[in-house]
């Protein structure tokens, strides 16, 4: 992830404050870290406040009652109350927290209170020095804050504290030099630790964002590939013009439904539909208009099946269509076919300059266990031819031993039933 991040200016880190140079990225980081910083700040301030107040007991033991102790106690109570207020309001004022305002305010006040009571407490320089180191540790590491505000408070407090020690206790040069080195090392290590924590925290955020973006791109690519695969499957399984199942896929599904019907001893019926006088429609209105007629027919057929029925609408070729009706016996299939026929007749096809009514002839058969698909289609075709022989725009059911008239299907009702609205 490092090379990718180095080339993305949004995630460039400033060497000075260890924050993102891009303001939008820094804001996003602070919003991302909000729940963690709110939780850590709350815990740190509660613990630090109680620890800060607890030393009022040692102050009393060393100072006893009096005005100096009252001043020390008041200062400790004031700092403790402010820390607890920030702790319990951290979630409400989280923007001030994330911007470093409230942590800096509390730490600065705590440092000011500590420095103001330092000379009132009857301790030697070594004891005061250890107390100051604890305060610096909290400023740099223990209290969550931005790097530069924490560094500023720590350095100013160190300079003031060092001046107080040297001036009040009149430390010799050797001891002052040693104390100066100790506080220099303490601030150096604290600053390096705070800078490193700030930098690593943002680097983790950067890596998470880059990984999330990579996963999102990968997800989008997978979804695009799946859509492409689905499109290819649709192209293989469906008729390009009407969207109906194509002949090859119909044969696969028909055999599957036949096996399921045989295993479950369920009914399975087949409708064979033929658009009446389609050649005349093409000759009169053109092939493009004829295509719209075919699409309208498929839409009507697909919209009439029961919701719980796994019907299959397929285009077998030209203007001939088939419908598999699982779960319907021959009589139910005939009634469904009548519904389809009437719906097609009553649904005008709107063309550019006209709206026409079309009709279909439908043959109905019920599959017999053990019967092949070819035999089923042959019986359905015989029923379809019977519907045509009887005048088209009607439904016919396959009959045992049925023989068609010698004159053929075109000997009846030669007038084109498609009429313009």
8 Å CB contact between 417 and 393: yes
**Closest by alpha carbon to 130, among 166, 161, 169?**
161
Task: Quickly list DSSP for 221-280.
Answer: HHHHHHHHHHHHHHHHHB-TTT-SB-HHHHHHHHHHHHHHHHHHT--EEEEEEEETTHHH
DSSP assignment letter at 10: G
Pairing of strands 395-397, 349-350: unpaired
Coil, helix or strand at residue 39: helix
Helices (H), 286-372: 287-302, 330-346
Q: Output the CA–CA distances (angstroms, integers) from residue 410 to 47, 363, 392, 398, in the order listed.
A: 98, 16, 9, 19
Separation CA 303–CA 251 (nearest Å): 22
Taking each helix axis as running N to C, give the angle between helix 23-63 and helix 173-237, from 0 to 180 degrees, rounded to the nearest 10: 140
Quick check: is 319 catalytic? yes
Separation CA 140–CA 296 (nearest Å): 75
**Closest by alpha carbon to 204, among 20, 42, 22, 39?**
20
Give the end-to-end CA distance of the chain in Å, rounded to a whole number.
68
Active-site residue among 26, 292, 311, 319? 319
Which residues are marked as active site? 319
């Amino acid at each position: 992830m490092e090379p990718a991040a180095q080339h993305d200016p949004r995630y460039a880190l400033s060497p000075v404050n260890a924050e993102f140079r891009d303001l939008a990225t820094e804001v996003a980081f602070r919003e991302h870290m909000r729940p963690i910083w709110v939780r850590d700040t709350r815990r740190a301030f509660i613990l630090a406040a109680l620890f800060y107040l607890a030393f009022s007991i040692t102050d009393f033991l060393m100072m006893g009652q009096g005005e100096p102790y009252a001043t020390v106690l008041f200062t400790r109570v004031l700092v403790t109350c402010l820390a607890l207020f920030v702790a319990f309001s951290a979630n409400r004022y989280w923007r001030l927290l994330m911007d470093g305002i409230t942590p800096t305010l509390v730490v600065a006040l705590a440092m000011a209170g500590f420095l103001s009571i330092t000379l009132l407490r009857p301790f030697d320089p070594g004891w005061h020095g250890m107390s100051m180191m604890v305060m610096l540790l909290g400023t740099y590491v223990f209290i969550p804050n931005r790097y530069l505000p924490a560094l500023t408070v720590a350095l100013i407090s160190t300079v003031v504290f060092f001046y107080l020690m040297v001036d009040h206790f009149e430390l010799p040069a050797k001891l002052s030099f040693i104390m100066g080195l100790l506080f220099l090392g303490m601030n150096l290590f604290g600053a390096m630790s705070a800078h490193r924590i700030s930098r690593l925290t943002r680097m983790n955020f950067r890596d998470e964002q880059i990984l999330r973006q990579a996963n999102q791109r990968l997800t989008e690519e997978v979804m695009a590939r799946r859509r492409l695969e689905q499109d290819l499957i649709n192209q293989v399984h469906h008729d390009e013009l009407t969207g109906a199942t194509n002949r090859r896929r119909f044969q696969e599904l028909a055999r599957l439904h036949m096996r399921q019907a045989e295993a479950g001893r369920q009914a399975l019926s087949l409708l064979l539909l033929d658009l009446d006088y389609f050649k005349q429609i093409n000759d009169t209105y053109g092939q493009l208009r004829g295509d719209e007629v075919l699409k309208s027919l498929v839409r009507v057929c697909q919209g009439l099946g029961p919701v719980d029925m796994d019907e299959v609408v397929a285009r077998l070729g030209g203007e001939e269509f088939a419908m598999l009706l699982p779960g319907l016996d021959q009589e139910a299939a005939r009634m469904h076919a009548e519904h389809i026929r009437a719906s097609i007749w009553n649904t005008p096809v709107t063309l550019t300059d006209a709206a026409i009514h079309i009709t279909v002839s439908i043959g109905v058969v019920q599959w017999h266990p053990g019967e092949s698909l070819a035999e089923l289609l042959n019986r359905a075709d015989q029923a379809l031819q019977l519907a045509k022989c009887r005048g088209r725009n009607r439904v016919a059911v396959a009959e045992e031993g049925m023989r068609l008239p010698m004159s053929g299907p075109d000997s009846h009702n030669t007038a084109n039933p498609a009429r313009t609205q």
